[in-house]
Structure 1
């Protein structure tokens, strides 16, 4: 278990959460493409971050919480169906993002991103969506910089192919058979 958080550190933690919450939610959404799952994983990650805040603040709280989010999404995919939450008939009263706000191109890119393998998707999102350095991405992913570079390169190559496929469905489906 983490160490006790003093009132000064708790204020720093609260400030961090308030300033990063929306950004972390978008980060999680880009990785999983489900607002509900993104919100859940961010909440769990922020709880874990609070428990380890003194250690995280010494290093990099941004990298620390992003790594928790990425690992949490991987854990969620491995969780059996019997441990997942079950849907209910009543929806909570929360404002939902307006789907009309996103452009067709953005939705196409998000769809293509969702089709990438998890490691490639994480590397591409960290490097190009979150605009992080190779070193920052390596810290979050818990791997070497070389692995980040190769995952990013493979991910971008795959992403380009998927985007061409989605923009020219007739050509991609072999219309000239």
Structure 2
């Protein structure tokens, strides 16, 4: 009788691959809609570009992080997506400015932070802006915000990331996230106040 301890068989690589692909399919089903809304707003409604950015982010996620848990995928995916968006924006800025490849292209004002901004909560955007405002009206108002304000608001209010995680995804300081988020809330309330007077023009 063989008394030697039995060695557990390593999981078959094809099974692991199939499991990862199944998880990715479910993950894509869950986040694609919101990610596309974010990218369409950030690219001024260029739906083809938005779809390409989202698809490229999914491919990179699966290629580099297939072994990570689904929960870990959320910040990783949005970090990859943010990087691809910023690369696209830099290319567009250089295309619009001849010889700009000789100098650094500045896209945002992350270095400017409003001091003493309260770290506001992450409300459900529909509760925050009242049932009197439709999803399309919210989306249109978000699209009018500067890109970094769009990102800060959607990552916090829609995806529910905290300030620290949002800062990591956006590759900026927590102070910048607070500033962008604070201004986004002010901008949305001002843009939608004609639809619901109770919103007012301030987040205070």
Above 0.5 in TM-score?
Answer: yes
The structure with the greater share of residues assigned to helix is 1
| Corresponding residue for residue 136 of structure 1 | 165
Pairwise CA distance, 1:63: 0.8
Pairwise CA distance, 1:109: 0.6
| Corresponding residue for residue 60 of structure 1 | 72
1:45 pairs with 2:57? yes
Structure 1 residues 1-177: aligned runs within 5 Å:
7=14, 9-33=16-40, 34=45, 35-53=47-65, 57=68, 60-80=72-92, 105-164=134-193, 167=195
- Cα distance, 1:11–1:160 mapped onto 2, change above 3 Å: same
Deviates further, 118-127 or 16-25? 16-25
Q: Which has the larger radius of gyration?
A: 2
- Cα distance, 1:9–1:152 mapped onto 2, change above 3 Å: farther
Cα deviation code 1:82-104 (max 9, x no counterpart):
x9xxxxxxxxxxxxxxxxxxx97
Q: In 1, distance between residues paired with 2:193 and 2:133?
A: 15
Q: In 1, distance between residues paired with 2:133 and 2:189?
A: 16
The gaps in structure 1 that reach 5 residues or longer are 1-5, 84-102, 169-177
Q: In 2, distance between residues paired with 1:111 and 1:43?
A: 23
Q: In 2, distance between residues paired with 1:73 and 1:160?
A: 26
Across the two proteins, how many residue pairs are aligned to each other?
Answer: 141
Pairwise CA distance, 1:44: 0.6
The gaps in structure 2 that reach 5 residues or longer are 1-12, 96-131, 197-204
Q: CA RMSD in A?
A: 2.9
Contact 1:25/1:42, CA 8 A, preserved across alignment: yes
